[in-house]
Amino acid sequence: MATNTETKYGGSVAGLTLEGEAHTLSGLFAVLLRLMIGGMMLFAGLGKFAAISGEAFDASGYLANVDAASPVSGLYGAMAASPTFVEMANVVVPWTQVLIGIALIVGGFVRLAAFGGALQMMMFYLGGWEGDILAAFDSTLIYAVVFLTVAAFGAGRILGADRYIEQLQVDGQPLIERFPPLRYLLG
């Protein structure tokens, strides 16, 4: 059994050096965060299916009623005015939420799923913008940061499918070595 209870991390961002030590419990909390945010997305998506909720999901009301103070109010209004776009959103939003949730719970393609979740939360955040200072503490913005945290920690490698996907053999090499750009989708 390993006795090392801390892992070093660090790097530089914009000339600022960041370094520290994470306790081994940090891995457990990364997994719990991944499972919790994954479950939240899974059930948010499932709740948009008529077979479960009793009524069909319709994005048009949300898109058409964005506060004029929002920097995306005109864009979202144009989206609401397009029946083709609304029909597409009515399918894409619930399905992506379900797929993001499943990926995070299973721990497969975690970074891709987390970036997708962060993008969706940012779109909801911008749509809910009312132009005041409290917008910095909006729950959708906080969820976006949680998704990015899950991605940054490579939480799919901790009790997740990504740990095994990365090691699948392709032409005698682990997948992640054969196709290094996959590091940005897995983890």
Spell out the per-residue pLDDT of the chain, length 187, in tens.
Answer: 444 455 777 778 788 887 877 777 888 899 999 999 999 999 999 999 987 878 889 999 999 999 888 889 999 999 999 999 999 999 999 999 999 999 999 999 999 999 999 999 999 999 988 877 777 788 899 999 999 999 998 889 989 999 999 888 988 999 889 898 988 888 8
User: What b/e string do you get for 129-141 counting C-beta neighbours within 10 Å, with b at 16 or more?
Assistant: beeeeebeebebb
**Residue for token digits 């095994």?**
164
β-strand partners of 21:
8
* pLDDT number for residue 21: 79
**Residue for token pair 């070093």:** 8
* Res 3: pLDDT: 44
Element holding 173 (H helix, E strand): strand 173-174
Distance CA 112, CA 95 (A): 15
Q: Are 110 and 150 in contact (CB under 8 A)?
A: yes
Token pair belonging to 35:
């499972």
- What is the number of other CB atoms lying within 10 angstroms of the CB of residue 96? 17
Q: Quick one: which H or E segment has residue 21?
A: strand 16-23
Q: Which residue has the tokens 């949680």?
A: 146
**Residues in CB range of 26: below 8 A, 6 or more apart:** 7, 153
Any idea where the domains of the chain sit in the sequence?
41-57+93-184
Q: Which residues on adjacent β-strands are paired with residue 8?
A: 21
- Token code pair at residue 132: 């005041």
